[in-house]
Amino acid sequence: MEKLKLGDIYGFQYAEEKRIYNIICGKSKRKKGDLPECFKFNSYSEWKNYVWSKYETYNCQQLNNFLHYLKMQLRTINPTQKFSDMVCAAVFGVLISSLINVIVALRGEFEKMGFSIISVVAIAIVAIMVIVFPLCSISMNIFNNMICKSEDKDMYEDYISIIQEIIQSKENEEK
């Protein structure tokens, strides 16, 4: 017998919801044709209406419980994101420091070739901007995507905001 996942209690099938969200937000290479007809949305607002209609029948207590479930899922993503950010900062620091050390070591050679200290600094800045930053950005982006799933974070944040809107709407109706 398969164990019931907490998200299933709220009608939230993670894999299906993520697939829909990624296609709608343009984060997936898949096309809308891969989705069942009832999930073919043309805009974020259509997807939001789908989520709203899916959960508007829940009472405030159920919605609050679901909201806490979504926040718990979001919290599991944040430590990975922080780790990835720290690694990226460390790599950038090491690369820039290494480049500066190389340029300082080659300063004598630059001076022999007739370059002034200002031109050496300009070369260093250009090298950092043209070579190091783009390469670091690309490699860190690849690393970040492997380690941390930003689309999950975005999906949970959007779900949280919609569920909060539904809760607020229900509370306003009760008043």
Q: Would you state the pLDDT for residue 24?
A: 78
Look over the chain and give the mean of its residue pLDDT values, rounded to a whole number: 76
The residue whose two tokens read 């720290």 is 86
12 domain residue, yes or no: yes
168 domain residue, yes or no: yes
Q: What is the per-residue pLDDT across 19-38, written as a single tens digit (0 to 9) for each?
A: 888 777 766 555 555 666 66
91 domain residue, yes or no: yes
Q: Would you state the pLDDT for residue 166?
A: 94
Q: What share of the chain in percent tops pLDDT 90?
A: 19
Distance between CA atoms of residues 113 and 105, nearest Å: 14
Q: How confident is the model at residue 52 (pLDDT cuts 50, 70, 90)?
A: very high
67 domain residue, yes or no: yes
Q: How confident is the model at residue 3 (pLDDT cuts 50, 70, 90)?
A: very low
Note down the domain range covering 142.
6-174
Residue 151: what are its φ and ψ, rounded to 5°? -65, -30
115 domain residue, yes or no: yes
Taking a C-beta distance cutoff of 8 angstroms, is the pair 174, 167 a contact?
Answer: no
Q: What is the per-residue pLDDT across 125-162, written as a single tens digit (0 to 9) for each?
A: 777 777 767 777 777 666 666 655 667 888 899 999 99
1 domain residue, yes or no: no
119 domain residue, yes or no: yes
133 domain residue, yes or no: yes
Q: Would you state the pLDDT for residue 1?
A: 40
Domain count within the chain: 1
Mean pLDDT of 72-97: 75
pTM of the model: 0.61
